Amino acid sequence: MSILMNFLRRSSFNKPRFMPLISSSYSSRYASTLVLGEHENGQLKQSSLSAVEAASRAIDSGEENSISVLLAGSGESLQKAVSHAATSHPSISQVLVADTDKLAHPLAEPWAALVHLIQERGGYSYIIAAASSFGKNVLPRAAALLDVSPITDVVDISGPKLFVRPIYAGNALCTVRYTGANPCMLTIRSTSFPVSLNSAESKSEAAPISQVDLSTFSEESVGKSRYVKHTSEDTERVDLGSARVVITGGRALKSAENFQLIEKLAAKLGGAVGATRAAVDAGFVANELQVGQTGKIVAPELYMAFGVSGAIQHLAGMRDSKVIVAVNKDADAPIFQVADYGLVADIFAVIPELLEKLPSKK
Q: Is 308 annotated as a binding residue?
A: yes
Q: Is 292 annotated as a binding residue?
A: yes
Q: How far apart are alpha carbons 266 and 268 in whole angstroms?
A: 5
Q: How far, rounded to the nearest angstrom, does the alpha carbon of residue 311 sit from its chain's CA centroid? A: 22
HEC secondary structure over 238-303: CCHHHCCEEEEECHHHCCHHHHHHHHHHHHHHCCEEEECHHHHHCCCCCHHHEECCCCECCCCCEE
Q: Is 69 annotated as a binding residue?
A: no
Cis upstream peptide for 183 (omega within 30°): yes
∠ CA 200-108-273 to the nearest 5 degrees?
Answer: 55
Q: Is 251 annotated as a binding residue?
A: yes
Q: Is 94 annotated as a binding residue?
A: no
Q: Is 231 annotated as a binding residue?
A: no
Q: Is 307 annotated as a binding residue?
A: yes
Q: Is 312 annotated as a binding residue?
A: yes
Residue type, 144: A
Using the Cα atoms of residue 93, residue 58, residue 303 and residue 136 in order, give the sign of their dihedral.
positive
Q: Is 248 annotated as a binding residue?
A: no
Residue type, 110: P
Q: Is 87 annotated as a binding residue?
A: no
Q: Is 179 annotated as a binding residue?
A: no
Q: Is 182 annotated as a binding residue?
A: no
Q: Is 43 annotated as a binding residue?
A: no
Q: Is 157 annotated as a binding residue?
A: no
49 to 70, 226, 348: CA distances (angstroms): 12, 28, 40
**Alpha-carbon torsion angle 348, 353, 358, 362, nearest 10:** 50
Q: Is 116 annotated as a binding residue?
A: no
Q: Is 314 annotated as a binding residue?
A: yes
Q: Is 167 annotated as a binding residue?
A: no
Residue type, 218: S
Residues within the annotated binding site? 251, 276-277, 290-294, 307-314, 328, 346-347
Residues within the annotated binding site for FAD? 251, 276-277, 290-294, 307-314, 328, 346-347
